[in-house]
Amino acid sequence: MAGFLSDLVQYRKLLLMIMVLGIGGTHLSGFQMSVINYTSPYIQKFINETWLERYGSVLQQETLTLLWSFIVSMYCVGGMIGCLCSGLLTAKYGKKKCLLLNDVILIIATLHTGFSRRAKSFEMILIGRFLEGIGAGIHMNAHIQYAGEISPKRLRGFVNVSSSVFLALGKAVARILGLRDLLGTEDMWNVLLSFSGLVALIQLVFLPFFPESPPYLLLQKGDKSGCLKAMKQLWGEGNYLTEFDDMMKEKAITKGTKIMNVLEMLKEPSVYPQLGIMLLILLSLQLCGLSAITFYTSEIFQTANLQESIIPYVSLGVAVSEVISLIFCSSIIDRFGRRILLWGGYLLMALTLLLLEISLLLSDQYFWMQYCSVILIFLFIIAYGLGPAGAITSVMNEIFTLSTRSSAFVIGGIIIWLGLTFTGMIFPFAVMFLGPFCFLIFIAVLVISAALIYLFLPETKGKSTSEITEEFKICQVKKKRRQIVEKNATEEKTFCTKL
């Protein structure tokens, strides 16, 4: 306990910076993704009323659905564009300036959504959601990289997980403010949408008081004194020679290597193993069953005979349990490592989904199975938060060097945004045809992902970027040797057969 309190005192400025980064970073993404669900009926009614006032006719349901789908999809389109721009912006201007510029974009977006009702223009909501998507694409990449680069080695896992904590917190805040007792009403929906601008303004005011990341200052700008000053400012008084030496080693390894763009990175064979691991963990995260759980939550709560007025609060409990499990994950990740949290978390999620599948199938025969389903939803979210939700961001930050990290996050961001769009379009049809049996697909994905992570992902806990890169190189050499041995064995066998 004494050690924990001393860390809080020593790293108090780092913790403050984590807070400032988080509220204007992934917290906003979580909020913006969730808040649209609570404003949906009010925005659609507003579109209908605006159309009637302009053109004197009621909007057809098909046209209303099309306009609403545009508003929802514009966020993903903007996210893709912002993600593509983030690599260039973070490499050229640094994460700090990138986030400050992004705050301005988000404030402009909020002015559009917040004043759309007064201006009687649903087009302003469309523009606002598009700009919010661009902001989300930029700050999700910049925040995660920035957080990973400002952390000392001993707290690297804790700081990396903070981005996931704030993402879950954003979803929880959207659920809280979206309650009908607060801002989830017909009169206040535009105020609810405007919350993003307030948070962006807070980051815009306070972030300039914090330094750029030490690795960026040393490796990209060549500013040794600035790097040491930033380390001292964030980490307090102490001996940080180990971290500084690790950065100098990385600088020596990448000497003469400029920051790669996406195309250059895709042509570089040495980063293929890292890209393969990133592709694996991001696709497994997209197909882990979280979308299925979200889809079935309300239905399961209704079949469990929960009162309609209570269901929003139980759903809020699910979101809060995700936040708590992620906070707990941040406290254990530097002790247990990333690898075991990933494959162990996936296996635990697969087991929970299997039990949920059984409970859903037997709920008509045994009424108490409905309550088991409710408990299993909470257990699934807790397993998700304890394992992959926290560990994935840490792994992505640690397996790439500074010269490839920005482009890697661009590729990863594109996978995430495409995955969100794909699952949003395909999943409802999967539920329509398979019903509860759709969980079997996710169980298979989780088990296969756990096996592949166990076999191919090296542990990154307590290792520098250069050490992790060296491990991947060793794995590549071993693979090539094995291929040569197998090829020689095949040739010898062919030669003997001919004789």
Give the pLDDT confidence of 237-262 residue by residue, as tens digits.
777 777 888 888 877 776 656 778 88
Of 216-230, 270-284, 290-304, where does mean pLDDT reach its minimum?
290-304
Residue 135 or residue 60, greater confidence:
135
pLDDT at residue 417, as a whole number: 82
pLDDT at residue 296, as a whole number: 64
pLDDT at residue 486, as a whole number: 60
420 pLDDT tier (thresholds 50, 70, 90)? confident
pLDDT at residue 382, as a whole number: 92
390 pLDDT tier (thresholds 50, 70, 90)? confident
pLDDT at residue 57, as a whole number: 81
Distance (Å, whole) CA 451 – CA 458: 13
154-191 pLDDT, tens per residue?
Answer: 888 888 899 999 999 998 999 899 888 888 888 888 88
Mean residue pLDDT across the chain:
83
pLDDT at 1 > cutoff 50: no
Distance (Å, whole) CA 484 – CA 144: 40
Question: What share of the chain in percent tops pLDDT 70?
Answer: 87
pLDDT at 52 > cutoff 90: no
Distance (Å, whole) CA 402 – CA 246: 12
**Contact of 175 with 312, CB cutoff 8 Å:** yes
pLDDT at 302 > cutoff 80: no
